[in-house]
Structure 1
């Protein structure tokens, strides 16, 4: 399996793990162990979960947990006035947090790749309106956080 496919699977798993942490009130170590032992690369109730780059998965999940306050603050500033992050649906919030972490802390990943990948994650769960909102928020963040990558001629 190619590295890009392993990372795509890691992004999906990270978003799901962050969601699970919030709805089931699970801690970081418990959720990492659960996903690595029972989800990633396994088949559950007829659904196959692709193998993922575990180091990347761990980095995104633990990075979001570690940096959640500034991540949430940055997302609140980017979302429309009157629509704070706490009003966003839980899985959508997890996707936005994971993407924000990657844009903020993973300079090895091009911003356009991160945005596209997380919009693709959203498309697995949401319709075009929600995906459009996620795309707009992430595009605004990417352009703000990594302006050089969006300069004319790039």
Structure 2
């Protein structure tokens, strides 16, 4: 089954949040393994059982909006150079992109990909802040908030 074959006709807020968490994990896996986005998406569907019948037990990801998951993973990998340039432009000098934790890097890339889409930026920022709090207990969520807020303001001012 491919992502586009899977049902997601009326995704809920929860299903979109789960898709974003899964996308961050998939982007991390792409970077660490060197596998293509298509390969990782396929692996997630087969092995992580991204479907409405799965449960969080044993690492499965239930109820994810599969279309959004695929859009984020494929979109980030296709536009990664542009996304990385935007991130590098706003990151503190002492924290260049390669120095960031790879999960944080994946999270920021996914969020930057979604900023400026049909979903309001404030929702995107809040969603990825929640995701950041799920992965990090330190100052990383504050950093995510600052970076995404800056990029959102720039996008809305036409400076991105």
Q: What band does the TM-score fall into relative to the shorter chain? A: 0.7 to 0.9
What RMSD in Å do the two structures reach over aligned CA positions?
1.9
Q: How far apart are residue 143 of structure 1 and its match?
A: 1.2
Native 8 Å contact 1:111 1:146 kept in 2: no
Aligned to 1:5: 14
2:156 to 123, 146, 153: 146
Distance 2:58 2:133 in 1: 20
* Consecutive unaligned residues in structure 1, runs of 5 or more: 149-154
Deviations 1:105-124 (A, max 9, x none): x2x10000000101111111
Give the TM-score normalised by structure 2. 0.84
Give the TM-score normalised by structure 1. 0.87
Q: How do residues 45-56 of structure 1 correspond to structure 2 at under 5 angstroms? A: 46-56=58-68
Distance 1:6 1:45 in 2: 17
Deviating runs (4+, > 3 A) in structure 1?
Answer: 41-48
1:94 to 102, 106, 110: 106
* Consecutive unaligned residues in structure 2, runs of 5 or more: 1-9
